[in-house]
Amino acid sequence: MYAREIEEKLTELGIKVGDKIKVSKEEKYYEGILMPRSFYNPDVLVIKLANGYNIGIEWKNIVKIEKVEEEKKKVARVERKEEIQEKHEKTISILSTGGTIASKVDYRTGGVRPAMTAQDLFEAIPELREIANIEPRTIMQVYSESMNFEHYEKMAKEVFNEIKKGVDGIVIAHGTDTMHYSSAALSFAVQNLGIPVVFVGAQRSSDRGSSDAAVNLISSCLFASQSELAGVFICMHESMSDYACAVHLGTRARKLHASRRDAFKSVNAKPVARVLWREKKIEYLCKDCVNLRDKNKESELFANFEKKVALIKLHPGFNPEIIDFLIEKSYKGIVLEGTGLGHAPEYVMHAIRNACEHAIVCMTSQCIFGRVNLNVYYTGRDLLKAGVIPCEMLPEVAFIKLAWALGNFSEEEVKEIMRKNVAGEIVERILYGE
């Protein structure tokens, strides 16, 4: 229900949810279908525009409202939907974990708080019913910046159970801040995956007219149900426009912008696919880099993560006592974010050599793009001699991988695993222009 004032006006004008209306503001007007839910702000009129996108217009800014066309075959439409819901060939799960996609604006403070459930999200976007049989479920309500290894363990187990149920794909609604850490965690924790598991988020909360939630959710559900690929992915806006979503490999993406819709980029790789959601079409950009869908695959769960692992950025003025402290505290793994090709200050070498005797020490690069190579400079060779493992992957991914490897395997196995490609994370060659 909208605010009472709005409901009264709508009744007076004979406008019902589902009708096509024209809403005029001081400077422009919008035409579209009046939507059934205003989510959390009763004073915002939600209209679905012809381009499929929802817009929210504050009631106080509306100067005129007119009915353009009555909703057609309203009852029939609902029935048809119910029917489709059972009739689709593919069934996918939406697991909601929290984050902006499942948030609302708190109009008292202006801040955003997690609130919506998977069911709410599902109901807010009727297009989802046309894609597959969908089972929405809220498994946690956490802002992604507060995710921890316990959450990864739970998420992995939930995904594993959904797979056992026989779903064709899984969508995980997730906060964007650390979505790439979570997608990496799932990439390692669930091995031999035969279906797509697609992380999706929003940069603007779902109860805002300008939210990217709908396009991202529709695209990720399309990919989860129809893609020929299996694995863990991130599906988010490809550019600033609503035209398409990019699908990134879960171990190769990074949030590279704090606020833009296309914040996620594949690093040292192309996205594996794009989803042209309006045409319900998937364009594959790199089918060879990913496993194909195979529901007969028996997934395996390795859901443990070692908590005594640290991610440390090296820089001028870095104090090696931080590394000494970690070793004193019996950390089992340290991922260093070196400079350039993976370098460390000479004045930190002593601490690194000592750390290598008590823990697994891996080297990545804070450059983000490009490869790690400890063979070019003599300082790199010193790191190799000390026992540092060069990791040709994103620092964030190396950190998650090391915590995962230490949680499930022996120290000797971990050393091998960190050098080996487990889930597409290793940069084997750089595509120019990336």
Closest approach of a second copy to the CB of residue 308, in Å: 8
**238 and 246 in contact (C-beta within 8 Å)?**
yes
Q: Indicate which residue of 176, 178, 251, 364 is catalytic.
A: 176
Q: Quick check: is 117 catalytic?
A: no
Query: Of the two residues 134 and 310, which places its CB atom closer to a second copy in the complex?
Result: 310
Query: Of the two residues 195 and 398, which places its CB atom closer to a second copy in the complex?
Result: 398
Structure tokens at 319: 């104090």
Phi and psi (nearest 5°) for 204?
-125, 140
User: Which residue in the set 12, 76, 165, 317 belongs to the binding site for a second copy (CB under 8 A)?
Assistant: 317
Q: Indicate which residue of 255, 265, 332, 401 is catalytic.
A: 255
Q: Is 385 in the site for a second copy (CB under 8 A)?
A: no
Closest approach of a second copy to the CB of residue 377, in Å: 5
Query: Mapping DSSP to helix (H, G, I), strand (E, B) and coil, where does residue 214 land?
Result: helix
Q: Is 376 in the site for a second copy (CB under 8 A)?
A: yes
Q: Is 429 in the site for a second copy (CB under 8 A)?
A: no
Closest approach of a second copy to the CB of residue 211, in Å: 14
Which of these segments, 74-82, 147-155, 164-172, 223-231, binds a second copy (CB under 8 A)?
147-155
User: Residue 339 class from Cβ within 10 Å (0-12 exposed, 13-18 middle, 19+ buried)?
Assistant: middle
Phi and psi (nearest 5°) for 142?
-130, 135
Q: Is 333 in the site for a second copy (CB under 8 A)?
A: no
Q: Residue 116 gets which letter from DSSP?
A: -
Q: Quick check: is 255 catalytic?
A: yes
User: Which residue in the set 49, 240, 292, 431 belongs to the binding site for a second copy (CB under 8 A)?
Assistant: 240
**165 and 195 in contact (C-beta within 8 Å)?**
no
Q: Is 237 in the site for a second copy (CB under 8 A)?
A: no
Q: Quick check: is 176 catalytic?
A: yes
Residue 197's DSSP bridge partners are 170, 232
Q: How many residues bind a second copy (CB under 8 A)?
A: 78
Query: Of the two residues 3 and 386, which places its CB atom closer to a second copy in the complex?
Result: 386
- The backbone region for 78, taken as left when phi is positive above 0, alpha when psi lies in -120 to 50, beta otherwise, is alpha
Which of these segments, 87-95, 186-194, 220-228, 302-310, binds a second copy (CB under 8 A)?
302-310
Please give the order of strands across the beta sheet that includes 273-276. 133-138, 91-96, 169-173, 196-200, 231-237, 245-249, 273-276, 281-284
Q: Indicate which residue of 97, 100, 178, 364 is catalytic.
A: 100
User: CA 141, 100, 169 angle in degrees (round to 5)?
Assistant: 70
Residues between 174 and 233 with contacts to a second copy, criterion CB under 8 A: 176-178, 181-182, 185
Query: Of the two residues 142 and 244, which places its CB atom closer to a second copy in the complex?
Result: 142
Residues between 84 and 143 with contacts to a second copy, criterion CB under 8 A: 106, 109-113, 143
Closest approach of a second copy to the CB of residue 368, in Å: 6
The structure tokens 């319900």 sit at: 280
Phi and psi (nearest 5°) for 198?
-115, 115
Query: Of the two residues 122 and 149, which places its CB atom closer to a second copy in the complex?
Result: 149
Q: Indicate which residue of 19, 120, 168, 177 is catalytic.
A: 177
Residue 265's DSSP bridge partners are 254
Q: Is 380 in the site for a second copy (CB under 8 A)?
A: yes
**251 and 424 in contact (C-beta within 8 Å)?**
yes
Q: Quick check: is 100 catalytic?
A: yes
Structure tokens at 81: 């939907």
Closest approach of a second copy to the CB of residue 261, in Å: 11
Whole-angstrom CA distances from 213 to 76, 81, 109 are 28, 22, 22
Residues between 247 and 286 with contacts to a second copy, criterion CB under 8 A: 255-260, 263
Dist CA 343 CA 327 (whole Å): 20
Pairing of strands 29-34, 44-48: antiparallel
Q: Is 419 in the site for a second copy (CB under 8 A)?
A: no
Q: Is 166 in the site for a second copy (CB under 8 A)?
A: no
Residues recognised as catalytic: 100, 176-177, 255
